[in-house]
């Protein structure tokens, strides 16, 4: 039996949410870098980087590129947890918000929840479904 495709079934909703976040974060990052990079370079470059991670994750999940999806979603999780903590502890480096600031508070905490859902979905779809033996196989 083969693995389930990552972009099928409930994975379609996951891909859609990733796609929306990819568009929002990338557009925000491009705007911030293009118009006011000197105000908060770390925050704005992180927003653009987060957007690009979401783009890669979206494409990888939609096209069933599992290894790339594992990497992208793992980097996303590490990023949101790291930036989430740093943005609360060291406010000086984050004078303006990023997509991952305060664990994605500005995006309804979707950036915090999404990588966990993504990793669970990759794990579940990567397993071979348990199929009972056919009557002919019982002997």
- For the residues 68-75, what does the mean pLDDT come to? 97
Q: How many Cα atoms within 13 Å fall on the side-chain side of residue 34?
A: 6
Global pTM value:
0.85
What was the pLDDT predicted at 135? 61
Instruction: Return the residue matching tokens 């693995």.
Output: 3
Closest CA to 66 of 21, 19, 2: 2
What was the pLDDT predicted at 74? 97
């Amino acid at each position: 039996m083969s693995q389930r495709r990552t972009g099928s079934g409930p994975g379609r909703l996951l891909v859609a949410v990733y796609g929306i976040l990819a568009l929002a974060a990338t557009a925000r990052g491009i705007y911030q870098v293009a118009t006011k990079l000197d105000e908060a370079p770390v925050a704005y470059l992180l927003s653009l980087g987060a957007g690009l991670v979401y783009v890669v994750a979206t494409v990888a999940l939609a096209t069933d590129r599992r290894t790339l999806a594992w990497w992208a979603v793992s980097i996303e999780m590490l990023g949101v947890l790291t930036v989430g903590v740093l943005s609360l502890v060291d406010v000086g480096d984050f004078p303006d918000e990023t997509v991952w600031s305060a664990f994605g508070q500005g995006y309804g905490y979707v950036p915090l929840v999404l990588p966990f859902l993504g990793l669970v979905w990759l794990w579940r779809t990567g397993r071979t479904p348990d199929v009972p033996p056919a009557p002919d196989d019982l002997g």
